[in-house]
Amino acid sequence: MVECTVRFRVGPMATERSAMFDLSRVDWQRLALPPLGLIVVVALWHVACVGLDIQVSVLPRPSLVLEAAIKRWDLLLSEGWVTLKETIYGFLLALVLGIPLAVAVANSRVLNLTFYPLLIALQSVPKVALAPILLVWLGIGIESKLAIAWLVAFFPVVVDTAAGLQSTPRELLELARSLRASPWQIFWKVQFPAALPFIMTGSKVAVTLAVIGAVIGEFVGSSEGLGYLLLSATSQINTPLAFASLFALAILGIVSYLAVVLVERLLAPLLPPTTRH
Amino acid sequence: MKPFGVLDDVRKVFERSELGRGAREPLVAIESISCTFGEGELVSLLGPSGCGKTTLLRIIAGLMPKSAGSVRIRGEEVVEPHADFGFVFQTPNLMPWRSVIDNVLFPLEIIGRLDAAGRKRAHDLLEIVGLGDFHASRPHQLSGGMQQRVSLCRALVHQPTLILMDEPFGALDELTRMEMNDLLLDIRVRTRATVVFVTHSIAEAVYLSDRVLVFSRRPGRIVEDITVDLPYPRSAATRYTARFSELDQRASRALGVIKDVPPPVAHGASDDGPHGGVHGALQGGTHGH
Ligand SMILES: Nc1ncnc2c1ncn2[C@@H]1O[C@H](COP(=O)(O)OP(=O)(O)O)[C@@H](O)[C@H]1O
Ligand SMILES: [Mg+2]
């Protein structure tokens, strides 16, 4: 969804140079085209359902999905809240544990050689395969979902943060060292700001993955959350509600992504200008 | 002049492990360097690229361990960086996430002396280098020369007694470089700091220095110690004096860039043509002959 906005903004500006100076026109397209795309797709969906006479249990008409969403909004909201909590906790845990690990790995050859191969090995294990095991360990409560969300979000945070820390110009580190900066000062005033754009990139990937992780956890075993709602709705052949939960999940994903983008905007004064949009 | 820095038989060998894959033997970057410099002196290290100038400067700064020998500043052996040294790098090396003034204030932040006097000094320095109006700008909004001036301010803001400069103006165009040379001489008069200045430009070394130490190719040794007796303050006119071209030529000869031209005759008229680098030196030589 967000991708699509970007493309619509860049497209016309790149092809018609004059559009760059015609602000009103660019703004109009930016505002109008994304909803228009949505309307076109929904209209096609409706036409297909009616025209091909598709059964409600296979693909409900958009109006039925909307109806289900309005009727069960409290349910969607409470289950969505559960999934959001799992996502956010998992994501934050990935930051809290991932950034220090990245710092250790980026600064110590010993720790790098000890932990990096393990991390790569961990990444190559499909997380879905770990979900049942985590369920056995942590039960069907929020802990197991949080653990899976954390697990999938962890890797991009560590890898991007470590890459960012290692990209700190050597001469900036020497400048700090020549002033006898403490390791803490070197980290906080030089390495961390230098790595911040990378950390933001990793976070955007991580938060999207955290949503997926939470839903995987709910699929494998749970009694709440949007993933659970989706499964139980399909098992009762309540396809409109299943679709409504699907859309709720999409909105949840977009909202958490935009939250990270918002943080990035707030940090903009600390970011080098090239990474600002 | 009081002896300020004493280098005695300094040697630097990079071991195979430091050189990366495919290194068959250790690399002798600096063979043996001994010299002294006085308090307030401006000494240039002049040599071809790769001869170990940066390495020696890092060793003096305490940023890199030496393999043998001793470096004493004010009688004290340098084993780690001192907060009252200032270092100017080859590239401006500013932090893109900080404004110009915050870049200049960085050293004070690190050594814990960020007070009103320090802030005032930072603004004054920017004023001196002609960037008073740019204190709130970001580095990317400045030209290369302006960025290097900011980095000069940053090296001076904590009032270091020793300033180490590694080809700071090497990436600048000729005109900007000359301006920066005059700026450095001006600042040096105000601060009375001792300066060790690395360069591979003969004219720059002669123009700036009290003394020019000429390095051989790697492994680095000092092949000539030239005292520049041109009076300060120096100006563009200094570059066109006969004495300047004599010294320029002596440095060129020590570097081995001119071999077949006989040494200049000492009296020489001062209305020679323009000089600078090897070309100027060659001209001066032909005249003298
Ligand atoms: N950190 C380092 N590790 C390995 N070799 C180095 C290092 N620094 C410099 N050298 C080598 O030492 C020699 C001298 O380098 P340097 O001091 O940078 O020369 P200069 O500054 O005079 O151009 C070069 O051959 C360079 O490759
Ligand atoms: Mg160098």
| Chain B nearest C-alpha distance from A193 (Å) | 7
Atom of ligand 1 nearest to the CA of B12: 12
What pLDDT digit, counting tens, does each position of A234-263 carry? 999 999 999 999 999 999 999 999 999 999
Distance A39 CA to ligand 2 centre (A): 62
Nearest Cα to Cα of residue B199 among B281, B130, B255, B258: B255
Provide DSSP, A203-247: HHHHHHHHHHHHHHHHHHS-SSSHHHHHHHHHHTT-HHHHHHHHH
Indicate whether residue B51 lines ligand 1 (CB < 6 A): yes
Residue A13 has pLDDT above 80, yes or no: no
What average pLDDT does the structure give for chain B? 86
What average pLDDT does the structure give for chain A? 85
Residue B269 has pLDDT above 50, yes or no: no
B17 in contact with chain A, both atoms CB, cutoff 8 A: no
B112 in contact with chain A, both atoms CB, cutoff 8 A: no
Residue B289 has pLDDT above 90, yes or no: no
**pLDDT: which is higher, B10 or B282:** B10
**pLDDT given at position A6:** 38
* Least confident residue range of A114-128, A203-217, B69-83: A114-128
Please choose from B31, B55, B56, B196 the residue to mutate so as to test ligand 1's pocket, defined by most ligand atoms within 8 A of CB: B55
Residue A194 has pLDDT above 70, yes or no: yes
Atom of ligand 1 nearest to the CA of B19: 4
> Do A272 and B87 count as a contact with CB atoms less than 8 A apart?
no
How far are the Cα atoms of A30, A49, A64, A251, A254 from residue A45, in angstroms, in the given order? 24, 6, 12, 19, 22
Indicate whether residue B54 lines ligand 1 (CB < 6 A): yes
Backbone phi, psi, residue B273, to 5°:
-65, -175
Domain ranges of chain B: 5-84+160-236
Cis peptide before B274 (omega within 30 of 0): no
ipTM over 0.90? The verdict is: no
Nearest Cα to Cα of residue B192 among B206, B210, B174, B166: B210
Q: How confident is the model at residue B279 (pLDDT cuts 50, 70, 90)?
A: very low
Q: Is B160 in contact with B85 (CB distance < 8 Å)? A: yes
A174 in contact with chain B, both atoms CB, cutoff 8 A: yes
Token digits of residue B16:
């195979």
Q: Whose CA is nearest to atom 27 of ligand 1?
A: B50
Residue A25 has pLDDT above 70, yes or no: no
> Do A270 and B97 count as a contact with CB atoms less than 8 A apart?
yes
Task: Label each residue of B187-201 as H, E or C.
Answer: HHHHHCCEEEEEECC
**pLDDT given at position B266:** 54
Give mean pLDDT, residues A52-81.
91
Task: Label each residue of B65-102 as H, E or C.
Answer: CCCEEEEEECCEECCCCCCCEEEECCCCCCCCCCCHHH
A175 in contact with chain B, both atoms CB, cutoff 8 A: yes
> Do A272 and B96 count as a contact with CB atoms less than 8 A apart?
yes
Minimal Cβ distance to B63: which of A178, A185, A190:
A178
| Chain B nearest C-alpha distance from A150 (Å) | 30
Residue A198 has pLDDT above 60, yes or no: yes
**pLDDT given at position A109:** 86
**pLDDT given at position A274:** 52
Cis peptide before B139 (omega within 30 of 0): no
**pLDDT given at position B8:** 93
A274 in contact with chain B, both atoms CB, cutoff 8 A: yes
A179 in contact with chain B, both atoms CB, cutoff 8 A: yes
**pLDDT: which is higher, B38 or A270:** B38
**pLDDT given at position B277:** 41
A273 in contact with chain B, both atoms CB, cutoff 8 A: yes
What pLDDT digit, counting tens, does each position of B126-184 carry? 998 899 999 999 999 999 889 999 999 999 999 999 999 999 998 888 888 898 899 89
CATH of domain B5-84+160-236: 3.40.50.300
B62 in contact with chain A, both atoms CB, cutoff 8 A: yes
Q: Looking at beta carbons, which residues of chain B come within 8 Å of A171?
A: 89, 91, 93
Residue A145 has pLDDT above 60, yes or no: yes
**pLDDT given at position B3:** 84
Burial class (CB in 10 A: 0-12, 13-18, 19+), B175: exposed
Q: Which helix (H) or strand (E) holds A71?
A: helix A62-71
Q: Looking at beta carbons, which residues of chain A come within 8 Å of B107?
A: 179
Distance B7 CA to ligand 1 centre (A): 19
Burial class (CB in 10 A: 0-12, 13-18, 19+), B192: exposed
What pLDDT digit, counting tens, does each position of B133-149 carry? 999 999 999 998 899 99
Q: Which helix (H) or strand (E) holds B7?
A: strand B3-14
Distance A171 CA to ligand 1 centre (A): 14
Distance A188 CA to ligand 2 centre (A): 29
**pLDDT given at position B257:** 82
Indicate whether residue B12 lines ligand 1 (CB < 6 A): no
- Interatomic CA distance for residues B50 and B56, integer angstroms: 11
The pTM of this model reads 0.77
> Do A273 and B96 count as a contact with CB atoms less than 8 A apart?
yes
> Do A179 and B158 count as a contact with CB atoms less than 8 A apart?
yes
Q: How confident is the model at residue A273 (pLDDT cuts 50, 70, 90)?
A: low
What pLDDT digit, counting tens, does each position of A146-169 carry? 999 999 999 999 999 999 998 899
The rounded percent of chain A whose pLDDT value lies above 90 is 60
Hey, which residues does B212 pair with through a beta bridge?
Answer: B44, B226
Minimal Cβ distance to B110: which of A185, A196, A270:
A185
> Do A189 and B106 count as a contact with CB atoms less than 8 A apart?
yes
Give mean pLDDT, residues B201-220.
92
Q: Is B268 in contact with B246 (CB distance < 8 Å)? A: yes
Q: How confident is the model at residue A39 (pLDDT cuts 50, 70, 90)?
A: very high
The rounded percent of chain B whose pLDDT value lies above 90 is 65
- Interatomic CA distance for residues B81 and B71, integer angstroms: 12
Residue B89: nearest ligand to its CA? 2
Residue A88 has pLDDT above 80, yes or no: yes
Q: Looking at beta carbons, which residues of chain A come within 8 Å of B156?
A: none
What pLDDT digit, counting tens, does each position of B62-117 carry? 999 999 999 999 989 999 998 889 999 999 999 999 999 999 999 999 999 999 99
Residue A276 has pLDDT above 70, yes or no: no
| Chain B nearest C-alpha distance from A195 (Å) | 11
| Chain B nearest C-alpha distance from A182 (Å) | 8
Three-state DSSP at A61 gives: coil
> Do B97 and A178 count as a contact with CB atoms less than 8 A apart?
no
